[in-house]
Amino acid sequence: MDSIKQAVELARASDAPGPAPNASAGEIFRPGALDPKMREVRLDPVHLERSRIVAHASSKEQGRYYDMLRTQVLQEMDKKSWQFLAVTSPTAGCGKTVTACNLAMSIARLPERSVLLVDLDLRKPTVAKYLGAEPTDGVMSVLEGRSPLSSAVTQVSVGPTSFLVLSGGVSSSSSSEWMASQTMGTLLQTIKREFRSRLVIFDLPPMLLGDDVISILPRMDATLLVAGVGSTSVSDIKECQKHLQRSPVVRVVVNKTAEVTDSYYGYY
């Protein structure tokens, strides 16, 4: 556990304000007002639980850990009026998507908060699959100009809780190019403008498996780093730290902990 703590301290040390997004507005998006006929999907609690998405019920022990994470993240985000939260990890399989979905759901349970969850793991989009809301359109169809943003967004709900999801759609082998593109910059600007009142959570690819995250981080306000016990090493975290110099890390989640038996997650 010492090595994880050391790694976490390293990651938290990089807490400097990041640059503002600098993309220019374009004409390819026709976002308009939110589509009144927006696709709505009621999520199946059984499917959610199978995918480890548990934060719709605060009665569940694991759900309460996400509520604690939610409070810590919101405190940091609110202080600086931040809107865009990146969820990433050093390598694949650490639990980014599970964390992003649970955090979105936990925040959406707060009456005065609303959330948009965006799947930007374009190589391996899994948000829709985990939620059980397989998409018709997604980020890729918006980027490629095949559908407007307003019709690619889905409202998902479980019980009284609902939030918006922009899923990834089909996986793209050109993820790296898309992440660095002006088109992506324009999409993010449009999201910022159209979903002004919402916290936007981005499920990103792993940091160390390509340049996707490095390209997109300057356009994010803050980062939540998910480390996986057994799969994340101190040197992984040191490597991530280099790329996080200009992106504030709001929290590091140590996922898949087995040390405390009644604990699902550890936070630092």
Ligand X SMILES: Nc1ncnc2c1ncn2[C@@H]1O[C@H](COP(=O)(O)OP(=O)(O)O)[C@@H](O)[C@H]1O
Site residues, ligand X (CB under 6 A): 52, 89, 92-98, 126, 255-256, 264
Q: Which residue number, 171 or 245, has a Cβ lying nearer to Mg ion?
A: 171
User: Is residue 255 close enough to count as binding Mg ion by CB under 5 A?
Assistant: no
Q: Which residue number, 97 or 190, has a Cβ lying nearer to Mg ion?
A: 97
Q: Which residue number, 167 or 183, has a Cβ lying nearer to ligand X?
A: 167
Q: Which residue number, 126 or 223, has a Cβ lying nearer to ligand X?
A: 126
Q: How far is CA 53 from each of CA 81, 98, 99, 100, rounded to the nearest angstrom? A: 27, 6, 8, 10
User: Is residue 97 close enough to count as binding Mg ion by CB under 5 A?
Assistant: yes
Continuous H helices in 51-174: 61-79, 96-108, 127-131, 139-143, 149-152
Quote the strand ranges of the chain, DSSP E: 39-42, 84-88, 115-119, 153-158, 161-166, 199-203, 222-228, 249-255, 265-267
- Contacting Mg ion within 113-152 (CB under 5 A): 126
Beta bridge partners of 226: 253
User: Is residue 161 close enough to count as binding Mg ion by CB under 5 A?
Assistant: no
User: Is residue 102 close enough to count as binding Mg ion by CB under 5 A?
Assistant: no
Of these partners, ligand X, Mg ion, none, which one is at the site of residue 60 (CB under 5 to 8 Å by kind)?
none
Q: Are strands 84-88 and 115-119 parallel, antiparallel or unpaired?
A: unpaired
Residues that bind Mg ion (CB under 5 A): 96-97, 126
